Amino acid sequence: MFRGKMKFVRRALQQHFVYSSLLCLALVRSGPAFAADMLQWRAKENRVEARIESWELPKLLQQVAAATGWQVYLEPGTHRRIEAKFKDLSVGDALRHLLGDLNFALLPQTNAPSKLFVFQNSLQDATQQILPPPAEKKSGKPIPNELVVTLKPDSKESIETFAKRLGAKVTGRIAGSKAYRLQFDDEAATQAARDQLASDSEVSAIDLNYPVENPTRLDGLALSSQPPFALNPPLNGDKSRVIVGLIDTPVQSQASGFGNYFLQSLQVAGDSGAAGDSPTHGTAMAETILHGVSIAQKEGLGQNVRILPVDVYGPNPSTTTFDVAGGIVAAINAGATVINLSLGGDGDTPFLHQLIQQAHAQGILFIGAAGNDPVTTPFYPAAYPEVIAVTAGDKQGNVAPYANRGAFVDVLAPGTSVINFADQSYLVSGTSASTAYITGLAAGLASGSAKPLSEIEARVRAGMAVTPPVPSPKSP
């Protein structure tokens, strides 16, 4: 019976797929076969030249946005493969050649970038913003002059004693553990301290600390026909309650009717004072998790899920792997058994990995975002084997142009989510949203099916797995 519910849930989740062309932090790279492809946009002369053998529509619009500075919007679900070769065409004629039978409208703006809308039916349907490729991705470098130090459980010295002896400042600690964040004056002091700590019998581990950026941007929609999703009133009692630890930016007040699904927020990096007229990333992820829960509720599951927001950013624009670890510990200590990690970076830290390993061995389910760059390199913490790594794609099983498709990726889910905040609709895009969908779905299944989380994890990994592409037949 549970297998049948998983098939239903997969079909229901596929209905939520919108072909995710919002290229948030996206970088589409041409393969060697298309090295000669080019799009030259001479803005001053208002002339365009193109030589394109085979580009997908999102890639074309990326290049247009980069060349012109326009804000480009696409109707979700719009597909077209671009083949074009021309010289010295006007902008209007070039767009007609490039877009073929698709409709478009260019809206000039006073003291602001022009807006290009590409759509099949109505201009109002063009809601996905296509962003130009970003600057080259930075490698995962640790935070300078910092160490994460873990003392042994029976250590007789306090961390303050260690810090004084090393000339360091204690800038963070994880409650209930002996893990600390130390800051030093310069690189030489950091290395000297590392050498001393390595030979100290009271030190369990020494690690680096890595930055974790605020993951996804949100775009306000002028108009949206997206229907609101429905949630049943949550059940009372703890017998089948599943608590989701949302490790993210702060979560603001939710729309009426969702409040009972939230527990009191926790903070590990200071008070953010989150308010404002637009939603935070954490708020967007919370509502997207509830989208996933609503799918499970269609089968009579998921009425006893609660979301525990854990703010690991505070007032800061970014966080660290140390604070992410602290947020996970705080969430688990407060009863969370499902952890949503719609964040990450390139830094592989044994300290965070060991924490996740230990918690997973105790039955905690981890779900993480694979990253919003079309690369195959690991993105942490999603790349740790104990975490279900989620990428973004469409209902045909195609990975979105902007999403990571590395060997560590486990499952695929919708890459866009429309949320509502203060009577305004917002579009959130990226593997962060994909992760939140899967988290809500998994928590809903766990709440209503009485299955252990280990079985839920296995079912999600199998039922939503990324399908390897079928290789093209070789020419004789």
Q: Specify the 3-state DSSP secondary structure of 325.
A: helix
User: What is the average pLDDT across 63-74?
Assistant: 88
User: What is the average pLDDT across 438-453?
Assistant: 90
> What are the residue ranges of CATH 3.55.50.30 in the chain?
32-130
Whether the pLDDT of residue 21 is over 50: the answer is: no
User: What is the average pLDDT across 399-416?
Assistant: 91
Whether the pLDDT of residue 136 is over 60: the answer is: no
User: What is the average pLDDT across 179-184?
Assistant: 96
Is residue 95 very low, low, confident or very high in pLDDT (cuts 50, 70, 90)? Answer: very high
Could you tell me which residue, 301 or 326, shows the higher pLDDT?
Answer: 326
User: What is the average pLDDT across 208-232?
Assistant: 74
Alpha carbons 214 and 269: distance in angstroms, whole number: 14
Q: What is the pLDDT of residues 266-290, one digit of tens each?
A: 999 888 776 677 889 999 999 999 9
Residue percentage of the chain with pLDDT more than 90: 51
Contact (Cβ atoms closer than 8 angstroms) between residue 263 and residue 243: yes
Architecture per CATH, 146-207 = 2-Layer Sandwich (3.30)
Q: Return the closest-CA partner of residue 441 out of 452, 457, 426, 427.
A: 457
Whether the pLDDT of residue 22 is over 90: the answer is: no
Whether the pLDDT of residue 15 is over 70: the answer is: no
State the chain's mean pLDDT as an integer: 84
Is residue 163 very low, low, confident or very high in pLDDT (cuts 50, 70, 90)? Answer: very high
CATH dotted code for 215-463: 3.40.50.200
Whether the pLDDT of residue 324 is over 90: the answer is: yes
**Tell me, what's the pLDDT at 259?**
79
**Tell me, what's the pLDDT at 395?**
79
User: Partners of 244 in the beta sheet?
Assistant: 307, 338
**Tell me, what's the pLDDT at 285?**
95
- Phi/psi at 244 (5° precision): -95, 120
CATH dotted code for 32-130: 3.55.50.30
Highest mean pLDDT pick, 66-80, 350-364, 409-423: 350-364
Could you tell me which residue, 436 or 418, shows the higher pLDDT?
Answer: 436
Contact (Cβ atoms closer than 8 angstroms) between residue 461 and residue 411: yes
Could you tell me which residue, 146 or 138, shows the higher pLDDT?
Answer: 146
Amino acid at 324: V
This prediction's pTM: 0.75
User: What is the average pLDDT across 228-257?
Assistant: 77
Residues with Cβ < 8 Å from 81, sequence gap 6 or more?
54, 55, 56, 57
Contact (Cβ atoms closer than 8 angstroms) between residue 94 and residue 67: no
Whether the pLDDT of residue 42 is over 60: the answer is: yes
> What are the residue ranges of CATH 3.40.50.200 in the chain?
215-463
**Tell me, what's the pLDDT at 8?**
52
Q: Return the closest-CA partner of residue 214 out of 313, 133, 291, 311.
A: 313
User: Partners of 81 in the beta sheet?
Assistant: 56
**Tell me, what's the pLDDT at 227?**
65
Whether the pLDDT of residue 18 is over 50: the answer is: no
Whether the pLDDT of residue 222 is over 70: the answer is: no
**Tell me, what's the pLDDT at 461?**
95
Q: What is the pLDDT of residues 354-386, one digit of tens each?
A: 999 999 999 999 999 999 988 899 999 999 999
**Tell me, what's the pLDDT at 309?**
96
Q: Specify the 3-state DSSP secondary structure of 53.
A: strand
User: What is the average pLDDT across 329-353?
Assistant: 96
The CA-atom distances, in angstroms, between 219 and each of 144, 177, 284, 411 are: 33, 39, 11, 26
> What are the residue ranges of CATH 3.30.70.1150 in the chain?
146-207
- Full 3-state SS string of 82-121: EEEEEEEEEHHHHHHHHHCCCEEEEECCCCCCCEEEEECC
**Tell me, what's the pLDDT at 205?**
93
User: What is the average pLDDT across 162-191?
Assistant: 94
Alpha carbons 75 and 123: distance in angstroms, whole number: 8
Whether the pLDDT of residue 307 is over 60: the answer is: yes
